[in-house]
Every structure is written in structure tokens, then in C-alpha cells.
Amino acid sequence: EFLKGSGLLMGTLASGSMLAALAPSNAWALELKKLSTAEGQTLMAMGRTLYPHKKLPDAVYALLAKDLDGKAAGDAGAAKMLQDGIAWLNKSAGGDFAKASEKQREEIVRGMEGTAFFGTVRGQCITSLYDNDMAYAVFGYPGSAWEKGGYITRGFQDLKWLPEPSKEASPPPFLG
């Protein structure tokens, strides 16, 4: 069943990186059900153009392509819109948007602001790029706290990080 889709995105995590230390393997692969590998790579490049983070590995941007591929697989209209948008990106880049320079990619993406394609990709970037454990590790965010009893009992109830906070701003921990 694995690898029967339209495309496949693969890569490796940089050895010695924080993510490589957390991951069971340095290699990663994501199956695409509707979009081709090249289309997935174009979406990854657009995501990196919209939200550039040098520290985020391609594996995080591949989640964007996977999520958009899921939309395309479930909705013919979404698939057409995504494939037409990807084709426009590639045509505007003279062939391969993913291989265009950063400056050229930014100019191309700015030229499509306001389109449904731009809005769909930009909107999906928010959750695909920032709501996952790999991004949390890169940015130093400990993730959701409700499963661990919330923040109030874990040392996040005060404002000690501010210079000279008032006593009222930093009460003793609530211990139930």
C-alpha cells in the first residue's frame, strides 16, 4: 500500500541537528496521493518562500505539501486549483519554481497575492508548519500543556522574565 500514490517526497535531517536527535531516523518520506513529486516540491518551495526559516528542515515543509495533497485527493476542485497554481508558479519561473532563486520566487509569489491558490497555500502554512512537534523542537516551544496539567503548575504562572515584576504578577505556584 505504501508508495502507491502519485508522488513521494523524501529527504534527510541534518545529522547533529536537534531534530535528528529526536527522530528515530535521519531519513524521511511522505507519500502524495494526488500530486506528483515535482508538484509537492513546488509547494514546499512556496511554503519556504512565504515562511522562510533557515532552521526548519525540509521535512517540516513537506508536511505542507502532504496536507495540501490531502485536500487535492478529496476534492477535484481543490486539486485543479492547486495544480493550476503550481503550473503558474513553474511557468513564471521559466520552468521550475523550486529551483528559482529566493528573490525570483518572492517576486513570483508576490504577483499572485489575492488569488485563491495563494490564500489556500498561505492559510495551510500556518497549521502545517507551526502545529507540529518538529517545529516546536526547532523553536524551543514545549508544546501543548493541557495533557501535562496545564502551564500554571509547571512554572509558567509568573512574570519573572520581566525586569523587576511586582509581587502580584508573580504569585507562588498553584498546587491545587
pLDDT one-digit tens code per residue, 83-121: 999 999 999 999 999 999 999 999 999 999 999 999 999
pTM to 2 decimal places:
0.74
Q: Is residue 33 a contact partner of residue 67, using CB atoms and an 8 Å limit?
A: no
Q: Give the pLDDT band (50/70/90) at residue 57.
A: confident
Q: Does the pLDDT value for residue 6 go beyond 80?
A: no
The three three-digit cell numbers of residue 35, written as one number = 500530486
The residues facing 8 across adjacent strands are 31
Provide, for the chain, the percentages of residues in helix, strand and coil under a 3-state DSSP scheme, each rounded to the nearest 5: 50, 5, 40
Residue, of 102 and 156, whose pLDDT is higher: 102
Using an 8 Å Cβ cutoff, are 64 and 47 in contact?
yes
Q: What mean pLDDT, rounded, does the chain reach?
A: 82
Note the pLDDT of residue 4.
44
Per DSSP, 146 falls in state G
